[in-house]
Amino acid sequence: MTERADLEILLASHYPLVTVTTFEEARTVDLFKDIARRRELPLGCWTVSDGLRGIAGPPLFTADSLRLAGNETAGDGGAAPSSRDPEAALRAIRNNAQAGIYLLLDFHPFLDEPVHVRLIKEIAQDHERVRMKLVFVSHDLALPGELRRFACAFQLSLPNKLELGRIVSEEAAIWNVQGGSRVRADAAAVTALISNLGGLTRSDARRLVRNAIQDDGAITHADVGTVAAAKRELIGQDGLLAFEFDTADLAEVGGFSRLKAWLAQRRQAFVGAAAGHDDRPRGVLLLGVQGGGKSLAAKAVAAAWKVPLLRLDFGVLYNKFFGETERNMREALASAEALAPCVLWCDEIEKGISTGDYDSGTSRRVLGTLLTWMAENRRAVFIVATANDISALPPELVRKGRLDEIFFVDLPDAEVRRSIFAIHLARRGLDPETFDLAALAASSAGMTGAEIEQAVVAARYAAADADAGVTTRSIVTEIEATRPLSVVMAEDLERLRAWADERCVRVD
């Protein structure tokens, strides 16, 4: 079904209010113009700069409706005088006696006024008598609670690869006419460019293609990287998703041998999913003690598969206004889809979707939004969720089918601790071969990877203060001064191990 057909069905429904959250205002207006002409309906458009005026279809106001609004004559374009004032415009619409569609562009700053809300509600309540549709078009929309039950939302579709290819061809033709020469294009670069434009609106995609061509009259692989960077900037402007550029190579992650093998087996399937195949890896949950390397492993997944890493920040996601948190979640997930193939890292997920009643059900609704997306998403977005407390996670999230596997990150054994020491020593310019790694591994029993790293860091500080070098002995001294988490929270760790013993796959 086409986008226009979807909108016509929505306009034929009994919802008097429609919201369109988009940056593509011009395209939205054109879509409504087309429908108004085909259905011979009056189409009005209000802006704070030009007021309310008819833009398509039959005349917007009759003489009787203008008199009811307190105006004997119409202004330019059939607009009621003084209709730039939001209240005057709403009164004119309310007093109009004929069916029609009214686009209210960027009306969101005026939705805080009680008189505006009341007028909109009266128009909505009178919908069965006079079939009026108020359509709010803005980049940022949140209807007040008393209006939400009258409203439904319409979302503009994003262009598919065929449409994106057409946009590239059209921009190349424009360059040919304006520049007097054909666009030089590498076929592989054009294919990659079209793939990287996926998830953008038509206007954003067209602007990026135009910039790529006008730079040098060509489409090259250098343009692909430029467009990809611009796309990340466009999609990341809302701050709901953070781009993590500090990814780690899997070789820099000590241990995790089973997870590494699991990822290696599924890499090609993920690449295939990005190419359009449905059978794809969906995600994993990394459960374990704090400081065990879960976050580092999440970063390594993106590096191993050579895809962007996005971090979902639940702190930014939550909003005090009803319904806004769920909308933020939908927008964040839509952004992740737009950047596919990618890895979506949900750090400490239990803090964002716990199912307690302390937040009036917001967490439950956020969970429902996430679960629905996980079931319906067809894009190559691989979730890496990390958690410290399994008891706070709902069972419907951790069941098979939502995620592919649950891995338990336990304290590293002696061999893994040895490799972790070698990694952190080498990262700081120290030769691991000059240290007794076996002694370091033996003395650090019960320590996490993060605690091992801090022991190395502390030894370097002590050595610098004493104007000496870092030695095995100096690191052991720092280890002996540390009370690891496995001692401080021994009971919690044992409970976690007991739960994971027969329910999870160990990463090593």
**Rounded-to-integer distance, Cα 377 and Cα 397, Å:** 15
* Of the candidates 437, 504, 431, the residue with the CA atom closest to the CA atom of residue 254: 437
Residue 275 has pLDDT above 60, yes or no: no
Kindly report the CATH number that applies to the domain delimited by 161-237. Answer: 1.10.8
184 or 61: whose pLDDT is higher? 184
> What is the pLDDT, as a whole number, of residue 237?
59
> What is the pLDDT, as a whole number, of residue 247?
63
> What is the pLDDT, as a whole number, of residue 106?
94
User: What's the token pair of residue 422?
Assistant: 């070698």
DSSP state string for 386-401: EES-GGGS-HHHHSBT
Residue 96 three-state SS = coil
Span 331-380, pLDDT tens digits? 788 878 877 888 899 888 887 776 555 556 677 788 888 888 888 888 88
Give the amino acid at 16: P
Same fold, 3-153 and 243-409: yes
**Rounded-to-integer distance, Cα 106 and Cα 96, Å:** 22
Stated as kind and residue range, the H or E segment containing 53 is strand 51-56
The angle, 0 to 180 degrees and rounded to 10, between the axes of the packed helices 202-216 and 25-39 is: 130
Among 78-87, 203-212, 228-237, name the most confident range: 203-212
> What is the pLDDT, as a whole number, of residue 278?
59
> Which of 52-62 are b and which e, b meaning 16 or more Cβ less than 10 Å from the residue's Cβ?
bbbbbbeebbe
**Measured between alpha carbons, how far apart are the two ends of the chain, in Å?**
49
**Rounded-to-integer distance, Cα 210 and Cα 242, Å:** 27
Span 54-83, pLDDT tens digits? 898 888 776 555 554 444 444 444 445 457
> What is the pLDDT, as a whole number, of residue 105?
95
Architecture of domain 3-153: 3-Layer(aba) Sandwich (3.40)
Lowest mean pLDDT among 39-48, 106-115, 285-294, 424-433: 285-294
- Phi/psi zone of residue 214: left (φ > 0), alpha (ψ -120 to 50 degrees), beta? alpha
Kindly report the CATH number that applies to the domain delimited by 243-409. Answer: 3.40.50.300
Q: Is the pTM of this model over 0.95?
A: no
H-type alpha helices, 78-201: 86-95, 114-125, 145-148, 161-179, 187-196
**Rounded-to-integer distance, Cα 231 and Cα 247, Å:** 19
* Of the candidates 10, 16, 76, the residue with the CA atom closest to the CA atom of residue 49: 76
Architecture of domain 414-488: Orthogonal Bundle (1.10)
H-type alpha helices, 40-144: 63-68, 86-95, 114-125
Burial of residue 375, with CB atoms counted within 10 A of its CB: 0-12 exposed, 13-18 middle, 19 or more buried: exposed
Span 87-110, pLDDT tens digits? 989 988 888 877 889 999 999 999
Q: Where are the domains of the chain?
A: 3-153, 161-237, 243-409, 414-488
Residue 437 has pLDDT above 50, yes or no: yes
CA angle (210 as vertex; 204, 215 as ends), nearest 5: 130
Span 133-162, pLDDT tens digits? 999 999 888 888 889 889 988 888 878 788
Average pLDDT over all residues of the chain: 82
220 CB-near residues (< 8 Å, 6+ apart): 186, 189
